[in-house]
Structure 1
Amino acid sequence: NALVCLAVWLCFSCRATVDKIMAIIFPITAFVAMGFEHCVANLYFIPMGIVLAGLQPELLEGMAAGQAHSLDLAGMIGNLVPVTLGNIVGGTVMVGMIYWFIYLRHLDPLHAEEESKTASAD
């Protein structure tokens, strides 16, 4: 999830649409190529696997026995809980905390609050 969050941060740092597209291609491609799981993607792929298994059971013949049995509600929940927790940790610790450490840890909290008030007044 650190790569997905990196793609979002890179996207927000760009101005033009072409820049945004180019910025997200490499982190998302690396995320998919490494075979990582994302809870939002799994919310599509697991139900689609359940539907396809119901419509064409012969598709399950090439799967390992453990994989085929996980295509139900219990398997979906068993997948989404650890994947979601991993995505939260990856997004907050590996991206958010690193940005805080690099850019915001030196700011005085009172000064930062006053600065945000003056920025919102403008």
Structure 2
Amino acid sequence: MSYVNPSEFAVKMVDAGEAKVFLSTRDTIIRAYMAGAILALAAAFAVTVTVRTGEPLLGALLFPVGFCLLYLMGFDLLTGVFTLVPLALIDKRRGVTVKSMLRNWSWVFLGNFLGAFTVAVMMAVIVTYGFSVDPDEVGRQLGEIGHSRTVGYAEHGAAGMLTLFIRGVLCNWMVSTGVVGAMMSTSLPGKVLAMWMPVMVFFYMGFEHSIVNMFLFPSGLMLGGDFSIGDYLVWNEIPTVIGNLVGGLTFVGLTIYITHARTAADRRPVSHDETAEVDVAAPAEIESVKTV
């Protein structure tokens, strides 16, 4: 499926990070908004499938459809720019600074939130007939997810916070692998397959994705979930964002960059013949220097 080797897609990763830094504010927000909205729709779809079939694996199997679509259309998630943009800074691309990187992250965060929140409101309207009746089964499940993944962590104190952070790390390890997966092939089927697998893993395992949560928790609050905005921020969104940053950059961005874009010298031994050639050449070089 037109496989691209690691040394080539490592350069593509840095190029992509550089391009995102210099993208206009307007385009950054639009692309982030659409990414947040499409991912939120995919999450709503997966929850609906899980509730109606009683099979979480089926929901996880279908969720990546949204992820694949948004990346094929060139939209941006915060989890992706966390991984790609710092590489352009580390590679010392001209004009890329810490300030420009943080600017990109901030606009993408805002756009993702607005897109996810828009879908959250729409779904709340759908499952309550415009807030005129109690939430249906899907709506009740959305409210329960918000409760269990905020108050549920808080009940365990520091251990719950650690668990939340690690789930955020593992999430973006998988999601960013999907982002890079799109660069591993030049064919559409190859891109989709490489993105689909790790994203399915993250969703089924219940890892914490900051953008998916921008949909799940606001919709849960609107649908009667037993938790507060403070619970959402302290016991989910903020630790998840930090975990997503650490996971994507550490386990995907930096590892690929260091070993494929900035590969260290290999340890291949010098053969006896090569050593002899160097020894023979040395006196001649010395005599040449004396002559000069």
Q: TM-score, normalised by structure 2?
A: 0.30
Structure 1 residues not aligned, in runs of 5+: 54-59, 61-67, 108-122
**Deviation of the 1:95 alpha carbon:** 0.5
Residue 29 of structure 1 aligns to a residue whose secondary structure is helix
| Rounded Cα–Cα distance in structure 2 between residues aligned with 1:50 and 1:18 | 38
Contact 2:173 2:247 in 1 (8 A): yes
Aligned with 1:75 (options 231, 252, 256):
231
Give the aligned partner of residue 31 of structure 1: 202
Aligned with 1:84 (options 241, 244, 251):
241
| Rounded Cα–Cα distance in structure 1 between residues aligned with 2:263 and 2:182 | 25
**Deviation of the 1:16 alpha carbon:** 2.2
Report which of the two structures shows the higher radius of gyration computed on alpha carbons: 2
Could you list the per-position Cα deviations for residues 67-90 of structure 1 after superposition, in whole angstroms to 9, with x for gaps in the alignment? x23xx2111211111000000000
Residue 77 of structure 1 aligns to a residue whose secondary structure is helix
Give the aligned partner of residue 19 of structure 1: 190
Q: Structure 2 counterpart of 1:75, which letter?
A: D
Runs of 4+ in 1 over 3 A off after TM superposition: none
| Rounded Cα–Cα distance in structure 2 between residues aligned with 1:76 and 1:14 | 38
Contact 2:175 2:199 in 1 (8 A): yes
Alignment root-mean-square deviation, CA = 1.5
Contact 2:184 2:194 in 1 (8 A): no
Aligned length: 92
Give the aligned partner of residue 95 of structure 1: 252
The alignment status of 1:40 with 2:197, answered yes or no, reads no
The alignment status of 1:7 with 2:164, answered yes or no, reads no
Give the aligned partner of residue 104 of structure 1: 261
Residue 200 of structure 2 aligns to a residue whose secondary structure is helix
Q: Structure 1 counterpart of 2:233, which letter?
A: I
**Deviation of the 1:34 alpha carbon:** 1.1
Identity among equivalent positions (%) equals 28
Q: Structure 1 counterpart of 2:179, which letter?
A: V
